[in-house]
Every structure is written in structure tokens, then in C-alpha cells.
Structure 1
Amino acid sequence: MTAQMTSTAPGSSHSATEGQHGLVAHSDGAFVPVQTRSERFRSVNVEDFAPVHGREHEWKLSPVAAFADLTGGELDGSRLTLATEPVEGVELSWIPRSDERIGRAGIPEERASANAWSSFDEALLVRVTGDDEKVAVITRTGLGDAPRAAHTVIEIAPNSRGLVVLAGEGEARLSENVEIVVGEGASLTVVSLQEWGDDAVHLGSHFARIGRDAFLKHIVVSLGGKVVRVNPSTHLAEQGADIEALGLYFADAGQHLEQQVFVHHDAPHTRSRVTYKGALQGAGARSVWVGDVLIAQTAPGTDSYEQNRNLVLTDGTRADSVPNLEIETGDIEGAGHASATGRFDDEQLFYLMARGITEAEARRLVVRGFLTEIVQKIGSADLEARLLEALEAELEGR
């Protein structure tokens, strides 16, 4: 377990990274241990956060110079261009900043997220209803190279079911917040699919609140873009809430793909499974995965496990993998974490080559088998086929 720098008390206007001595005082004089993930400073106002320098705990593994305009500059908060098809049971609309449905799932913990929150004009509301299976694909495209801000709220009604894909294509310099609210007894899958152009930069903060006996499958797929940083934060707020957080990424030469995952067990008998898998090839390919799980005193009977696996395909790559687990109650069903980064399994390659398969084809089969575990859990045959084709293109360097 890795200790993290703590924050100032909620409501303070100071940065979460000013303290340098392991403990930071609350306004009432008490202290918060450095590992308490839930105590990070939060605000929807960008001015409440200090400028980003890259030394802060939330930014120290990120190439901050590549997106200084998104963390501190002015952002265009107008509506994004969307491509989507009508789906029965899925309603899309634009709502004003003042709408009471905004801010229910969570609020920013860092400056880029707060800058996007301070800048958007209207939020895209995606409302899912009905207990039949349905798939809605929403593609953001044509964003251009100017810095943009966006806000999306995905809300699923109690006892409803659905799958929502938020996809990104083409040029972009985007900082966005995505709120996900899962009603009682509902089952929702959200796929965040990054297939941006080669020079695109995308910073995304996802906040999810899961209700009583509800289930969320949250999947982050990052393939395209120069710098992609998607950080999902899930609050298991009511009894029986369940999250399966999955991630798939393929970093090529000079590409930075990052995910910082937080799961907060805050109610009895909640469950979480976190599995992120990635591959890296080419000089300067970089991936970052940070996984924080907090099991609060209010969450007896918790069942939690998180893991990250990285497959290194060439020299000159770097994979950072940091699992953190904090447990505040002894009354749990189970909790654990794992992390591994390695090269090809020579025995697997030998087995395949001994059966007449070329080395290049054997390597492709091994990588595909390693990554398709995540693809096969999406639950949409069309999307799974699309992603398998994209992975083949990555392996062939297309």
C-alpha cells in the first residue's frame, strides 16, 4: 500500500498539495492521516486550486506541460458536436448549469476537472429508462485543436437496464467531467472509448454514484490520442451497490495513457472488482495506472479486489502501476490487490511456434489473448467486434 499526500479540509480554498509534512490540519484542529483518500480537497471552482506544476501527488506521473492550457487556460464550454442514433429508452438533452441534477455523483479533486466544471455552458443529459436491453453510442467528433470543456450526466432510472458508449474521434484538446447516477436496482454499463487522433489530448474525470442493489460496469478503452488521462471515481453509496471497473489500453511510441481509479465503499455489503490491462510498444510509450480502494467504517461485509496487468512488447517503454488499499473496518468478506508488468511468456511463444506458427503471428496471438478478456466483458457484440479490429490495427502498427 502506498501512502498519498492528504488534503486540506473540505470547504477550504487552498490547494490539496500545499502540505509537505505528511499531516494537514482540519479547521477543527484534528489531523487526517496521509492515506485517507476520501479526504482530498474538492471544489467546482478552478480558482480554489493552485496552478499545476507536476510535483503534486495527482500530477506527478503526468506530462503536465503537454496540457497546461487545459489545467489553467480559458476553455470553450459550448456544446460539443455529437453523432448518435435514436434509441428507445435513451433520451438526450442539454440542461443548464443550474440544473439540480448536476453535482450529485461527485465534484472535482484536481484543477483540470475544476477548470472544465467552471467553464461548461450546458451539460449533456443522457437519461436511460426501461428494463429492456438497449445500447446507445454517442460520438464526440470535430472538436478541433482549441481547448474545450464538457460536462455529461448519465442517469439511469431505478430497475432499468442499458449500455451507453461515450466515444471520441479526431482532433481534440478536451477536459471533461462525466457524472453517472445509477438508481436503485438498476444495471448500467458505461464505456468510455478513446479513439482520438494522433495529436489529441483528453483529460476526463468520471464520477459515479451507485444506489441500493444497483450495478455499474464501467469500462475505459484508450487506444488513440497523444495524451489520454481518464480517472473514474466510484461511490458505493448504498447497501448492495456493485461496481465492475474495467480498463483496456494500448500505448504506442510517444503516447501517454493514464488512469487513476478510486472506489469508495461507503455502505454495507458492497462489492467491487477492478481489472485494468494494457500493452505497450515503441520508444516512449507510457502507461500510468493508480488504483485506490477505500473501505470505510460504514461498509461492513465489503468484498473488493483490484488488479492491473501490463504487457511490455518492446524496449523503451514505461508502465507505472500503483495499487492502494485502505481498510477502516475489520468486518469484511475480502479485500486485495495485485499488479504485474512483464514481457512475453517465452513458454507460450515456444508452444505456438512448435506447432508451425511464425514468431510474429505467435506474438500477435498472445497479445490478443491477453487483452480480449476485457473486450469480451463489454456486452455488445458490435462494439466488441469493433474493438478487436482496432486492436489488430494496433498490433500491426496501422
Structure 2
Amino acid sequence: MTTATSAPAASAEGHIDPAATLTDGAVVPIQTRSERPWSFDPADFGTPTGREVNWKHTPISRLGALFVDEAAPADVIGVTVSAPAAVEQARLAPGEAPRGEVFRPEDLASAIAWTQEAEAPLVRIPAGVELDEPVIIRLTGNGGVAHAHVVIEAQAHSRGTVILRHEGSAQQAQNVEIIVRDGAALTVVTVQRWDNDAVHLSAHQARVDRDASLTHIVASLGGSVVRVNPSVELAGSGSQGRLYGLSFSDAGQHLESQVYLHHKGPHTTGDVLYKGALQGENARSVWIGDVLIGPDAVGTDSYEANRNLVLTDGARADSIPNLEIETGDIVGAGHASATGRFDDEQLFYLQARGIAEDEARRMVVLGFLLEIVQKLGIPALEEEFTAAIEAELAAGADA
């Protein structure tokens, strides 16, 4: 296992703890997201206990099957791809470019997914191509454990959208490697509408090159435990990263995202906004946002925010924004977090104008979440998610 800045630390069991590093023989907790060690070898990671910095908010007891380094049956996840004719598709063995150009596993589940995926599917938008329709990758779980590594590449000056749709039942550890070449503009939308018993651990890692842009959207509604962690490096001068998220957590659901945005090149722009609603006993959401503005990222403009709306007693939202700046020559940088209950004043305002209470509640919640829905830019998806949010609200009212 290695890290860009320091030697890794061995735990008492002899494995490397991604929450710590060695300094003069003493174990010192890692203080910055950029120092987290990585390895392609699952043996370098100990099984998480829930005390590690990157696992302490996750229900480890519900994830055990994804920490076992064993081959899974090939038919656990059914995959169908709908793509315009210009899109190139291939299968990549470990070490076959561009697989591994960007991605570095940072935890056990991710390293296992890397190892177990013998041939990673590649979806490539060729240079200069502008897609009129999105690429849709539909993954349907049939029960059981599954591992995946997917590579998405937008070559120079291309334009396109890739949608990952997750449905059915499975326990899946998934890696998504995203490469946005010079001048390209790529949108990646990952939709989690799993059945209630599904478990989904997904690590998305992206690099955005010179004058390129990536819009990355996480939309999580279904599943027992859903953890989607996007990590985006704005490597090239003038690159842009827009990271958005939407979640609606019901009773017993755990929906989580740990976001990392690294401004590495000069004159880069970042916008991070995640919104979530929660209702029902033990409904849980976790959002951790890390933004690093590196020493060479002069002229950076970056902002991250997370906002949560708690609709019922017994629900809990954890929100932890972090901002690290290593240069004083920036345009601006900031972060914000807010978690609150339903606004009774808004409800009173609407009811005073003759709107029934149930309809008023629906309007307030929809107004809160539609800011993210409208960023999808795909009318069919926007309609689908508006209807899904309304269905969630109706189910909560009937409970």
C-alpha cells in the first residue's frame, strides 16, 4: 500500500489502517484527506471495524459479504447498455489502459472489486464526438454478491452523458473510473433505486483535464445501505467540477456519500451541493465533504454545501464539511452545512392561503429537493425523480 505523501501504517493485526500513518515508529492519525493510503491488493487492508475514519459512520455489520475476497457468480447483476452508435465499448484486463490510469482503491471493498473484475467494461466517447442521447447502463440485481469496475472515458473535446441505473436486489462493491480529457464535457449520473434489502458500496474516482468539465450527480432512493463516494481531481488548468447529490432516506435506510474534490490545476472551478430528506424511524444519511485546494491551484473558485430536511422524529442526518487551502491566491472558497426540521412557518404560510396541510408539506419538500432534480438536465429523469419523491412522501403520510 502506498500514499502520495507518507509511508503507510500497520495496525495491530498487521494490516494498514487508512486512518493513520507511521512517524518515527508512532501511529499518527491522518489529518488530511489527500494523505489517505491506497493499494490494489486487498491483503493490504484490514477488515473495517467501524473505528476507521472512513468507516465510522457506516453500519459495518450490514456489509460483511463485501469484505470477503472471493469470486462471485457472473449472473448476480444483469447488465444492458443502450448507447449511440458512436460510443466505443471494450473490456479491459488489469493493467490494460486506460484502466488504472486514475483509479486507486482506498478501502477493502474497493480493492476486492478491482481484483475480482477480470475484464472491466469500458465506455468511451471518441474525440470530438457530441452525443445527442445519453448512454444508459442498466444494472439489475438478481440476488447475491457482485463486484464491478467500470471505466468511462470522454476523449478530447467530446460531449456526452452516461447514466448508471441500479435496480433489483444485490450486494455490490463497485468501482467507477472516470477520465475527462482536454476540452471534453461529461455528465455522469448514478441512480440507486435498489430493492429494500440491497447493499451498494461504490467508489467513483475521476480526473478532469485542461479546460474540461465533469458534472457528477448521485441520486439515491432505494436500498438498505447505499454508500457512493465520488472523488474528483481537477488536474488541468481551467477544469471544472460540479458535484451534486439527492437522497431520500426512509425507515431503516442508510444513504451515504463521502465527497472529495481536489483542486490541483490553476484556475479551476468547483461547485458541490448535496441535498437530502429523511423520514421514518432510524432513517439515516451521512455526508462528508472534503475540498482540497492545492499549492498550484491559483485562481481557484470553489464552494461546497450540504442541506438536509428531517421530516419525522427518529431520523438522523450527519453532515461534515471540510475545506483545506494550500495557496492564498484564490478567487474564493467556502463551505456550508445545514440540517433542520420541517419549517412550520412555511407550512403556516401555505395553509393560510387555503392549501391543505398534506399538499403544503408536499410542496415544501419538493421545492427543497427539486433544485438538484433540475440539475439533471434530462426531462425524463427529472419527471421520474419528481414522481419518486412524491411517492416517498405519500408512503410516509400513510405510515
Q: Normalized against structure 1, the TM-score is what?
A: 0.92
Greater mean deviation of Cα atoms: 43-52 or 213-222: 43-52
Q: 1:46 aligns with which of 42, 56, 76?
A: 42
**What amino acid is the match of 1:177?**
N
Compared CA separation, residues 225 and 18, structure 1 to 2 (3 A): closer
Which residue in the other structure is 2:314 paired with? 316
Answering whether residue 89 of structure 2 is matched by residue 92 of structure 1, we say yes
Matches within 5 A, 1:1-398: 9=6, 14-17=15-18, 19=20, 24-25=22-23, 34-76=30-72, 78=74, 80-129=77-126, 130-141=129-140, 143-397=141-395
Deviation, structure 1 residue 352: 0.9
Identity of counterpart residues, as a percentage? Answer: 53
In the TM superposition, what whole-angstrom CA distance separates every residue of 1:157-198 from its partner, at most 9, and x where no partner exists? 111100110010001100010000001101110000000001
Query: The residue matched to 1:144 in structure 2 has which SS?
Result: strand
Taking a change above 3 Å as real, the CA distance of residues 31 and 333 of structure 1, as seen in their structure-2 partners, is farther
**Range with greater deviation from structure 2 (86-95 or 294-303):** 86-95
1:16-44 Cα shifts (integer Å, max 9, x gaps): 3474xxx7328xx9999843211111111
What is the Cα deviation at residue 144 of structure 1?
A: 2.6
CA spacing shift, 1:184–1:17, aligned 2, 3 Å: closer
Q: Aligned with 1:174: secondary structure?
A: strand
AA paired with 1:208?
A
Shift of 1:73: 4.4
**Deviation string for 1:87-124 (max 9, x for gaps)?**
13323332222312111122111111111112112111
In structure 2, the CA distance between the partners of 1:311 and 1:41, relative to structure 1 (3 Å rule), is: same
Q: How far did residue 132 of structure 1 move?
A: 4.3
Report the aligned-residue RMSD: 2.2
1:226 and 1:17 mapped to 2: Cα distance?
25
Residue identity matched to 1:139: R
Q: 3-state SS of the aligned residue for 2:63?
A: helix
CA distance in 2, matches of 1:60, 1:18: 11
Secondary structure at the aligned position of 1:118 is classed as helix
Kindly provide the amino acid, as one letter, of the partner of residue 225 in structure 1.
G
SS of residue matched to 1:106: coil
Report the Cα distance in structure 1 between the residues aligned to 2:267 and 2:373, rounded to whole angstroms. 28
Cα deviation, 1:312-367, whole Å, max 9, x if unaligned, reads: 00000010000000111111111100000001112211111111111111001100
Cα distance in 2, alignment partners of residues 365 and 75 from structure 1: 47
- Alignment check: 8 A CA contact 2:218 2:245 kept: yes
- C-alpha separation in 2, matches of 1:285 and 1:169: 20
Equivalent residue letter for 2:81: T
Q: Structure 1 residues 362 and 293, CA, compared in 2 at 3 Å: closer, same or farther?
A: same
Asked if the contact 2:125–2:153 (Cα under 8 Å) also holds between the matched residues in 1, the reply is yes
In 1, Cα distance between equivalents of 2:4 and 2:23: 9
Structure 2 residues not aligned, in runs of 5+? none
In structure 2, distance between residues paired with 1:17 and 1:323: 19
1:192 aligned counterpart, secondary structure: strand
Tell me how far apart the structure 1 counterparts of residues 27 and 315 of structure 2 sit (CA, whole Å): 40
* Uncovered stretches (5+) of structure 1, i.e. residues with no partner: 1-5
- Cα distance in 1, alignment partners of residues 9 and 155 from structure 2: 34
- Report the CA distance between 1:76 and its aligned residue: 1.6
- Within 2, Cα distance between the matches of 1:91 and 1:44? 26
Asked whether the 8 Å contact 1:128–1:156 carries over to 2, the reply is yes
Q: Is the 8 A contact 2:83 2:136 kept in 1?
A: no
Q: Distance in 2 between matches of 1:31 and 1:274?
A: 33
SS at match of 2:62: helix
Call closer, same or farther: CA 1:325–1:33 in 2, change over 3 Å.
Answer: farther
Against the structure 1 CA distance between its residues 304 and 75, is the aligned structure 2 distance closer, same or farther, given a 3 Å change threshold?
farther
